[in-house]
Amino acid sequence: MLRLLNLELQKLLLSRTSKILIFVSFVLPFTVLILSSIKINFFGFFTLELGELGIFNFPIIWHITTFFASQFKFFFAIVVVSMIGNEYSNKTLKQNLIDGLSKKEFILSKFYTIIFFSLVATLLIAVASFFIGLYYSSYTEASIIIRETNFLIAYFVKLVGFFSLCLFFGMLVKRSAFALAFLFILYILEWITFGIISWQSDMAFAEKIQNFFPLKSMYKLIDQPFQRVMMTKFPDKADLMYDYTVHWHEIVIVLCWTAIFIFLSYRLLKKRDL
Amino acid sequence: MEPILSINNLTKKFGYLTAVKDLSFNINKGNVYGILGPNGSGKSTTLGIVLNVVNKTSGDFKWFNGTVTTHDALKRVGAIIENPNFYPYMTAAQNLKLVCKIKGVDYSKIDEKLEVVNLLDRKDHKFSSYSLGMKQRLAIASALLNDPEILILDEPTNGLDPQGIHQIRKIIKDIASEGTTILLASHLLDEVEKVCSHVVVLRKGEKLYSGRVDEMISSHGFFELKCENENELITYLESNPDFGSVKVENKLITAFLNEPMDAVTFNKLMFEKGIILSHLVKRKESLEEQFLQLTDKL
């Protein structure tokens, strides 16, 4: 396992483009997080301090940071897609297989890399949120800090699932740009299907079905936190209530998709003549 | 002899096209094999199948007597297919390091093999800055990293200039002289003739011949003759059952033998018949002629 990870890391870290993209996808959310946590004084007119809004309180901070950090996953998605695209365009995939890597090992080395980077991203966010939380939060009891850390698990699963989808599209179309276009097409397709179902039956039913779609199920893992922030401000407004918690069945759905994508990538490679 | 690779009834179809048809042959340790065939005869496809990059349609092949799986076997094989494929953004040494990781070879081999192909002074240059000849030599270095039991080369001199071709051939000969089994696919016949002891001839995915180079066709050779009295000679040759076809080209008469006969006997015979030859050479077909004879036969 380490050998395969090591192999892929060498391929990635020696390439300048992917090095920059990896750097951006990790450092950017991190910097945004740090920046937003410091007090910004706008030339004496007013001070903007996001911490005052209570969004850096435990346990809501886990929700906020993972939600915003996951918006940056697109940068690493480019890396994932291009790490497949380049193997095809340089024909190094063929050479790797000739040199004695099996097709299974090839897919696994990509998958391990995805897990590795998702893990690193999760740890970074966890550490950053923890310290910012300690600094701002009104409550720092261990029991409150630990509460809702399952958002971190959701974040990790979400990343792994999304990158596995990218891996599959990369294997499917062999070219990075087309694979990214496919992501967009899938996104539109999901909404069209949602539209058709809600038109044929009703909205609530369509939403239930939609939660099983690959992109939507990944999105659904971490619901948008805006409404929740509102809720903390106006606790008496009952119509703002919504279900934002991470459910185990949501995690299971995404894990299933991950397994399906990795398996399909492997099948695709196995069937293909290079 | 110890077999390294045995192929049995291997078939590969691409849609309606049959690229390899019911192919069987064995590669034994210590020999230098050539796979000959015109373009599109299935050479690269066959190599692709045994190297695990092309899926077979039917039949099977066994590496090292079937004692190991294909992907483990490939770690004991060195192979170059068509163009050298490496990561353009890595240096030669980094590329070889990656191959070491795949094959599970010690990094100390990198410098040793770069020395063999004369690239040691360029090892820290990016692969993308290499000329085609250098890329091809790097590919050979990469194939040699694991001290392979068999080296597979597919058109190793394709697209190279004469110096490049010469360098590659020299490297191949040096490797062969150390006792490494080599399988060389090429359509350059003099290349195969110079290097190989055994040959497999393919045409349209079918095997036409496999065996020693010098036994490729059951021919007793031919005479090239010239004389003053051409017609008399031709009439005689055509009436003699020892001779097959007779061809005349630019006053040079070529007579193919059906039965073995040496030049002395023939000369004597002619003299007795009163035909004085001004030119007499006995030759065997070159590999090129043999190859063309084989592949033209339908």
Task: For residue B51, list chain A residues with Cβ-Cβ distance below 8 A.
Answer: 97-98
For residue B217, name the pLDDT band (cuts at 50, 70, 90). Answer: low
Instruction: Read off the pLDDT band of A107 (50, 70, 90).
Output: very high
Domain B222-296 has CATH 1.10.10: no
- Has residue A211 got a pLDDT over 90? no
Residue B111 has pLDDT above 80, yes or no: yes
pLDDT value at B298 more than 60: no
Asked whether the beta carbons of residue B83 and residue A91 sit closer than 8 angstroms, the reply is yes
State the CB neighbour count (10 A cutoff) for residue B59.
Answer: 17
* Dist. CA B103–CA B140, nearest whole Å: 15
Residue A20 has pLDDT above 80, yes or no: yes
Percent of chain B scoring above 70 in pLDDT: 98
- Mean pLDDT for A136-141 is 78
pLDDT band at A137 (very low <50, low <70, confident <90, very high): confident
Sheet holding B58-63, edge to edge: B17-28, B3-14, B58-63
Angle, alpha carbons A79-A80-A83 (nearest 5°): 80
Proportion of chain A above pLDDT 70, given as a percent: 93
User: Quick check: A48 pLDDT over 70?
Assistant: no
Q: B290 or A71: whose pLDDT is higher? A: A71
Going from the C-alpha of B137 to that of each of A100, B7, B143, B147, the distances in angstroms are: 20, 29, 10, 16
Q: Which of B245, B203, B252, B185 is nearest to B225 (CA)?
A: B252
Does B286 or B134 have the greater pLDDT score? B134
Q: What is the pLDDT of residue A51?
A: 64
pTM value is 0.85
CA distance B67 to chain A (A): 16
The terminus-to-terminus CA distance of chain B in angstroms comes to 33
Q: Is pLDDT of B234 > 90?
A: no
Phi-psi category of residue B263: left, alpha or beta, with phi > 0 → left and psi -120 to 50 → alpha: alpha
pLDDT band at A267, cuts 50/70/90?
A: very high
pLDDT of residue A32: 77
Decide the pairing of beta strands B3-14 and B58-63: antiparallel
pLDDT at B11 over 90: yes
The larger pLDDT score, comparing residue A37 to residue B121, is at: B121
Span A167-183, average pLDDT: 91
Secondary structure (DSSP) of chain A? -HHHHHHHHHHHHTSHHHHHHHHHHHHHHHHHHHHHHS-EEETTTEEE-GGGGTTTSTTHHHHHHHHHHGGGHHHHHHHHHHHHHHHHHTTHHHHHHHTT--HHHHHHHHHHHHHHHHHHHHHHHHHHHHHHHHHH-S---HHHHHTTTHHHHHHHHHHHHHHHHHHHHHHHH--HHHHHHHHHHHHHHHHHHHHHHHHHS-HHHHHHHHTTSHHHHHHHHS--SHHHHHHHH-TT-GGG----SPPHHHHHHHHHHHHHHHHHHHHHHHH---
A15, A96, A273: residue with CB nearest B55:
A273
List chain B residues with CB under 8 Å of A103.
Answer: 52
Indicate the number of domains in chain A: 1
| Residue burial A162-184, b: 16+ Cβ < 10 Å; e: rest | bbbbbbbbbbbbbbbeebbebbe
- Residues B33 and B47: their CA atoms lie apart, in Å, by 13
Whether the CB-CB separation of A62 and A129 falls below 8 Å is answered with: yes
The whole-number pLDDT of residue A38 equals 72
Domain with CATH 3.30.70 in chain B: 222-296
- Kindly give the pairing relationship between strand B222-227 and strand B252-257: antiparallel
CA atoms within 13 A of residue A268's CA, in its CB half-sphere? 17
Q: Which superfamily is assigned to B3-215 in CATH?
A: P-loop containing nucleotide triphosphate hydrolases (3.40.50.300)
CB contact under 8 A, A98 and B72: no
Q: Residue B79 above 60 pLDDT?
A: yes
pLDDT confidence of residue B101: 92
List every span in chain B annotated with CATH 3.40.50.300.
Answer: 3-215
What integer pLDDT is reported at residue A134 of this predicted model?
84
Query: What separation in angstroms does the CA of A196 have from each of A7, A201, A219?
Result: 45, 9, 20
Beta strand residue intervals within chain B, DSSP E = 3-14, 17-28, 32-36, 58-63, 77-80, 150-154, 181-186, 198-203, 206-212, 222-227, 243-249, 252-257, 277-283
Percent of chain A exceeding pLDDT 90 equals: 35
B77 contacts in A (CB within 8 Å)?
Answer: 100
For residue A161, give its domain range. Answer: 2-271
Contacts of B54 in chain A (CB under 8 A): 273-274
Closest CA–CA distance from residue A176 to any residue of chain B (Å): 16
Contacts of B161 (CB under 8 A, 6+ apart): B133
Question: Would you state the pLDDT for residue A253?
Answer: 93
pLDDT at A40: 65
pLDDT above 80: residue A234 = no
pLDDT confidence of residue B93: 93
In this prediction the ipTM stands at 0.84
Check CB contact of A274 with chain B, cutoff 8 Å: yes
Report the alpha-carbon distance of residue B163 to residue A216 in Å, rounded: 60
Contact between A152 and A124 under an 8 Å Cβ cutoff? The reply is: no
pLDDT tens-digit series, residues A63-92: 888 888 888 888 889 999 999 999 999 899
- Between positions 5 and 24 of A, the ones with CB within 8 A of B are 6-7, 10-11, 14-16
Query: Which pLDDT score is estimated for A42?
Result: 66
Comparing A14-28, B73-87, B188-202, the range with the smallest average pLDDT is: B188-202
Residue A46: per-residue pLDDT: 66
Of the candidates A14, A98, A272, the beta carbon closest to that of B74 is on A98
Which among B48, B86, B101 has the least Cβ separation from residue A6?
Answer: B101
